[in-house]
């Protein structure tokens, strides 16, 4: 994971990082004898969304994108065809010939990228911290200061992950992330797993946001649970999670 210069970050802000064919066929590399015979094409989302208030301001959240970027690095390092949809994060993944990165800014941008990308992938790992509300409507000019009180009107955003349930093939797997207060972690994550018809959900306490470490609890549809031993660096948690998904979804070695 690297921190680009400010000018890099700005020029990348809403563009693709690399020009590559967006979707590669799911074929084994020449040295793939010890790899899974068929392994997943993985679509990962990471980072916050920025929802414009006017032409110069936005509503955002504290997500750094670290967990999703770590997952994209771990997945591409295995030789798995990986696409990362990355929000306005200052971080970028390490380059890999197996990794394609597309940038988004708003929930609407991400919605469009997901609808284009999802049919060409097998797993969706939705680590992005998507806004639940956005200003309505955002004027395309700068709002001027006055001496009177101002109220922002917000509208709910669509639930992108839940909406993809109806647009998924039976062989596709959708994995959500739930950031919850520690004392309600498992119950609330379990509710989200069911409500969004997910195949699995990674429950993690709110302190995980913007941290280098994560204390993950993995819940699968059907009730199975898996937990690593304590808190892990996000890079190590990414490796653990991919192994756990592969085992849970029966990807054969």
User: Which residue ranges make up the site for ligand CTP (CB under 6 A)?
Assistant: 126, 128, 130, 132, 157, 159-161, 176-179, 192
Q: Which is nearer to ligand CTP, 81 or 204 (CB)?
A: 204
CB 77 within 8 A of CB 37: no
Cβ of residue 160: shortest distance to ligand CTP, in angstroms? 4
Q: Which of 54, 57, 60, 61 is catalytic?
A: 61
Cβ of residue 106: shortest distance to ligand CTP, in angstroms? 11
Cβ of residue 146: shortest distance to ligand CTP, in angstroms? 32
Cβ of residue 192: shortest distance to ligand CTP, in angstroms? 5
Cβ of residue 91: shortest distance to ligand CTP, in angstroms? 17
Q: Which is nearer to ligand CTP, 138 or 161 (CB)?
A: 161
Hey, which bits of 20-172 come out as E strands? 42-46, 51-52, 58-59, 82-86, 99-103, 123-126, 133-135, 154-156
Q: Is 61 a catalytic residue?
A: yes
Q: Which is nearer to ligand CTP, 84 or 98 (CB)?
A: 84
Q: What phi and psi, each to the nearest 5 degrees, are found at residue 35? A: -85, 165
Torsion from C-alpha of 203, 204, 206, 208, nearest 10 degrees: -150
Q: Which is nearer to ligand CTP, 58 or 177 (CB)?
A: 177
C-alpha–C-alpha distance, residues 138 and 121, integer Å: 33
C-alpha–C-alpha distance, residues 15 and 19, integer Å: 10
Q: Which is nearer to ligand CTP, 93 or 176 (CB)?
A: 176
CB 94 within 8 A of CB 80: no
Do the bridges between strand 200-205 and strand 173-180 make them parallel or antiparallel, or are there none, so unpaired?
A: parallel
Place of tokens 């490796």: 239
Q: Which are the catalytic amino acids?
A: 61
């Amino acid at each position: 994971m690297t921190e680009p210069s400010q000018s890099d970050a700005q020029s990348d802000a809403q563009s693709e990082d690399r020009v590559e064919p967006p979707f590669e066929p799911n074929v084994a590399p020449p040295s793939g004898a010890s790899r899974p015979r068929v392994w997943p094409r993985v679509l990962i989302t990471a980072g916050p969304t920025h929802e414009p208030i006017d032409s110069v301001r936005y509503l955002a959240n504290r997500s750094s994108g670290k967990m999703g970027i770590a997952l994209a690095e771990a997945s591409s390092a295995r030789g798995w065809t990986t696409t990362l949809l990355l929000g306005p994060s200052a971080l970028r993944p390490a380059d890999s010939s197996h990794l394609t990165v597309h940038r988004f800014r708003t929930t609407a941008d991400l919605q469009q990228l997901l609808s284009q990308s999802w049919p060409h992938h097998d797993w969706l790992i939705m680590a992005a911290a998507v806004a639940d509300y956005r200003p309505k409507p955002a004027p395309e000019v700068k709002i001027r200061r006055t001496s009177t009180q101002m109220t922002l009107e917000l509208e709910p955003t669509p639930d992108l992950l839940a909406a993809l349930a109806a647009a998924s093939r039976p062989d596709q797997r959708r994995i959500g992330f739930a950031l919850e207060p520690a004392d309600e972690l498992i119950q609330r994550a379990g509710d989200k797993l069911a409500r969004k018809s997910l195949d699995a959900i990674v429950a993690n306490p709110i302190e995980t946001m913007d941290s280098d470490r994560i204390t993950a609890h993995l819940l699968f549809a059907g009730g199975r649970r898996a937990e690593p031993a304590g808190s892990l660096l996000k890079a190590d948690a990414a490796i653990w999670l991919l192994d756990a998904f592969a085992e849970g979804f029966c990807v054969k070695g």
